[in-house]
Amino acid sequence: MAKEPRPIDELTIWDDAKAMLKKARREGVETVHDRLDQQTPHCKFCELGTTCRNCTMGPCRVSEKRPRGVCGADADVIVARNFGRFVTGGAAGHSDHGRDLIEVLEAIVEGEAPDYKITDEGKLFRLAGEVGIETEGRELMAVAEDLMECFFADFGSRKKSVSLLSRVPEVRKEKWAKLGMTPRGVDREIAEMMHRTHMGCDNDAPNTLIHAARTALADGWGGSMIGTELSDVIFGTPTPKMSTANLAVIKEDKVNLLVHGHNPVVSEMILAAAREPEMVARAKELGATGINVAGLCCTGNELLMRQGIPMAGNHLMTELAIITGAVEAVVVDYQCIMPSLVQISGCYHTKFIDTANKARFTGAIHFDFQPRTAMKQAREIVSIAIEAFAERDAGRVEIPGEPIEIMTGFSNEAVIEALGGTLDPLVKAIADGDIRGAVGIVGCNNPKIKHDSLNVGLTKELIKKDILVIVTGCVTTAAGKAGLLVPEAIEMAGPGLKKICGALGIPPVLHYGSCVDNSRIIQLCAALANELGVDISDLPVGASSPEWYSEKAAAIGLYAVASGIYTHLGHPPNILGSETVTNLAVSGLEDLVGASFFIEPDAVKTAEMFDERIKAKRKGLGLSE
């Protein structure tokens, strides 16, 4: 018997989402929430992490009654192996994205990417300097070539550590070295995890988890960081700017093209093509007033940060955006793109276009997007969107609400510039207790959690306590829609934050970019620690992913913890079937790396936990609570 669908009010906190969920039910369109109902209750073994499918003597499910798999692996080993592979999947995703940026840089250096260029030359030289490349008196392209080689080598097996570890405080690096946690090469750690978790290899749960942390660190300080930095080099380092968010950024009178996925290599070019006069002219011929490129998820964040495009929604809004009936095309690259978007597009006039050979969707229009032909392909893609405008059924269009203002573009470079060129004013504000600490709230939506309730709830609780919040990924749109990403949001903050942010004219919640841009946050933490001459774990900072769902989020969480940052998750990963693994995650890691995870589904309690932690760390630094 089919289950009753859950009441729409329980699914999301947003009016735009509710309106589209109602429309979906009216029009018989299935969404992620319906499918969650079909899939629950989930398999208990899988939830606990105690299933193993790593060989064909199994699959095995272990429990109190049957404590060992066919090979003899117990729950600790199985859970650790599963979690290790889970984190590794995330590290691979971010890092392969980072590699794609190195390949674009390579194509630029070789003169094979006529439509891309080095936009931030100063940043390229600075980066080269940081990784020990000679820059004095050298040509831009020669330095770019060396940097490209250096970053490619960070993926391999010939280094003792990835190059951007140059940013990490010495004490932290010593800790990692002692633990065997120093990330050597991105692909190496990923491959080694697959090796270790083969039957008959690493059968000691803590040892597997140490390598999981090393793999995550290779992501955070390697693949992700390279992704962020080279995106800045190629497309420009973000600076503060205003934009808008929610479904109302979709315009009834325009050709609406949504970019979705993660990599700006595709979406930047789509935006450039959509801005060409010939394209706009064709859209007008068909009766539109122009072309509107809006973002979903992280490629949306990338373009929001650098180009100020509006944000249509986060993860759980992606299906709903199409249900407005006003979207001509969804253009995707990779990661977090629900395959259901193909079916939903098919219910409307929407063209679903994929662009990566490594992320194809059955039923999509496919482009093998390449640096050499990028602009030509982008024009073809935009043309498909424009022509689709003629097929739109005006009777099925419903765009809810009004767009909300947001401020974006806070790269570390932009923050330091706003502070007058150094971190000193920030250090002083922390020392004075005006800013008591900072928490990065990052990550996803998950249909198991009322959409954005925790993302928004926690952000509000923290700023009340004078804790600066930095957001990335899908939390961005959540914070934005809640009115937290504008300077006026200081009214919701505590007195200290109100004073500092008010003086600087910035919001108490800073948008720092996409998921790979969490590397900006750890870089900031490292810079603060270096400035104070302490370890990252001594800082009054934290991280949180309240509504996470993805392997990538687990990798981010683990590199944050391994970097010394106390990290909250709104619900646990599938590890509870092993006491050893669970205890290590929520307390044991504290002894090893000076930080651990904590799991808490309630926003108020979570904020209290952060508050306690920040008090303790402030005390440790000799500061007032």
- Contacts with ligand SF4 by CB under 6 A lie at 52-55, 57-60, 69-71, 73, 78, 199
Sign of the torsion angle spanned by Cα atoms 520, 522, 523, 525: positive
Rounded least distance, CB 89 to ligand SF4, Å:
18
Tokens 């090979």 correspond to what residue?
71
Query: What HEC string does 125-184 produce?
Result: HHHHHHCCCCCCCCCHHHHHHHHHHHHHHCCCCCCCCCHHHHHCCHHHHHHHHHHCCCCC
Rounded least distance, CB 262 to ligand XCC, Å:
6
Rounded least distance, CB 76 to ligand SF4, Å:
12
Interface of this chain with ligand XCC, residues 20 to 49, rule: CB under 6 A: none
Half-sphere exposure of 56 (CA within 13 A, CB side): 0
Question: From ligand SF4, ligand XCC, none, which one binds at residue 458 (CB under 5 to 8 Å depending on kind)?
Answer: none
CB atoms within 10 A of CB 93: 23
Decide whether 184 or 552 has the Cβ nearer to ligand XCC: 552
DSSP string, 399-441: --S--EEEEE---HHHHHHHTTSSSHHHHHHHHHTSS-EEEEE
In 3D, which of 315, 288, 296 has the Cα closest to residue 249?
Answer: 296
Rounded least distance, CB 374 to ligand XCC, Å:
22
Q: Is 294 helix (H, G, I), strand (E, B) or coil?
A: strand
Rounded least distance, CB 50 to ligand SF4, Å:
10
DSSP string, 557-619: HHHHHHTT-EEEESS--TTTT-HHHHHIIIIIHHHHHS--EEE-S-HHHHHHHHHHHHHHHHH
Decide whether 332 or 593 has the Cβ nearer to ligand XCC: 332
Q: Is 345 helix (H, G, I), strand (E, B) or coil?
A: helix
Question: From ligand XCC, ligand SF4, none, which one binds at residue 336 (CB under 5 to 8 Å depending on kind)?
Answer: ligand XCC
Contact residue for ligand XCC among 77, 193, 336, 560 (CB under 6 A): 336
Decide whether 101 or 388 has the Cβ nearer to ligand XCC: 101
Calculate ∠ Cα 385-388-391, nearest 5°: 165
Binding mask 406-435 for ligand XCC (x = CB under 6 A): ------------------------------
Q: Which helix (H) or strand (E) holds 453?
A: helix 453-464
Q: Is 332 in the site for ligand XCC (CB under 6 A)?
A: no
Decide whether 57 or 616 has the Cβ nearer to ligand SF4: 57
Interface of this chain with ligand XCC, residues 272 to 331, rule: CB under 6 A: 297-298, 314-315
Rounded least distance, CB 89 to ligand XCC, Å:
12
Rounded least distance, CB 198 to ligand SF4, Å:
8
Binding mask 249-268 for ligand XCC (x = CB under 6 A): -------------x------
- Sheet hosting strand 597-599, strand order edge to edge: 509-513, 467-472, 437-441, 541-545, 566-569, 597-599
Decide whether 80 or 118 has the Cβ nearer to ligand SF4: 80
CB atoms within 10 A of CB 296: 28
Binding mask 495-514 for ligand XCC (x = CB under 6 A): -------------------x
Question: From ligand SF4, ligand XCC, none, which one binds at residue 60 (CB under 5 to 8 Å depending on kind)?
Answer: ligand SF4
Decide whether 204 or 491 has the Cβ nearer to ligand SF4: 204
Decide whether 262 or 617 has the Cβ nearer to ligand XCC: 262
Q: Is 8 helix (H, G, I), strand (E, B) or coil?
A: helix
Rounded least distance, CB 92 to ligand SF4, Å:
21
- Report the distance separating Cα 328 and Cα 350, nearest Å: 5
Question: From ligand SF4, ligand XCC, none, which one binds at residue 57 (CB under 5 to 8 Å depending on kind)?
Answer: ligand SF4
Decide whether 54 or 545 has the Cβ nearer to ligand SF4: 54
Window of 15-23, 29-37, 341-349, 545-553 that interacts with ligand XCC by CB under 6 A: 545-553
Cα 39 versus chain centre, distance: 26
Rounded least distance, CB 54 to ligand SF4, Å:
4
Q: Is 474 in the site for ligand XCC (CB under 6 A)?
A: yes
Decide whether 227 or 577 has the Cβ nearer to ligand SF4: 577
Rounded least distance, CB 260 to ligand XCC, Å:
9
Q: Which amino acid is at 317?
A: M
Residue 422 CB burial class (10 angstroms; 0-12, 13-18, ≥19):
exposed
Question: From ligand SF4, ligand XCC, none, which one binds at residue 315 (CB under 5 to 8 Å depending on kind)?
Answer: ligand XCC
Interface of this chain with ligand XCC, residues 546 to 605, rule: CB under 6 A: 550, 552-553
Half-sphere exposure of 184 (CA within 13 A, CB side): 13
Rounded least distance, CB 196 to ligand SF4, Å:
12
Decide whether 203 or 314 has the Cβ nearer to ligand SF4: 203
Q: Is 525 in the site for ligand XCC (CB under 6 A)?
A: no
Rounded least distance, CB 201 to ligand SF4, Å:
10
Contact residue for ligand XCC among 164, 485, 515, 526 (CB under 6 A): 515
Q: Is 12 helix (H, G, I), strand (E, B) or coil?
A: strand
Decide whether 396 or 571 has the Cβ nearer to ligand XCC: 571
Rounded least distance, CB 84 to ligand SF4, Å:
13
Question: From ligand XCC, ligand SF4, none, which one binds at residue 70 (CB under 5 to 8 Å depending on kind)?
Answer: ligand SF4
Compute CA distances 125 → 83, 136, 164, 587, whole Å.
38, 9, 14, 41
Decide whether 73 or 438 has the Cβ nearer to ligand SF4: 73
- Report the distance separating Cα 444 and Cα 118, nearest Å: 31
Residues 6+ apart with CB under 8 A from 261: 267, 297, 298, 299, 332, 333, 334, 335, 336, 337, 359
Decide whether 542 or 577 has the Cβ nearer to ligand XCC: 542
Residues 6+ apart with CB under 8 A from 80: 205, 206, 208, 209, 212, 578, 580, 581
Q: Is 444 in the site for ligand XCC (CB under 6 A)?
A: yes
Decide whether 82 or 161 has the Cβ nearer to ligand SF4: 82
Q: Is 473 in the site for ligand XCC (CB under 6 A)?
A: yes
Tokens 């093998």 correspond to what residue?
368
Residues 6+ apart with CB under 8 A from 498: 490, 491, 508
CB atoms within 10 A of CB 239: 16
Binding interface with ligand XCC (CB under 6 A): 262, 297-298, 314-315, 336, 443-444, 473-474, 514-515, 550, 552-553
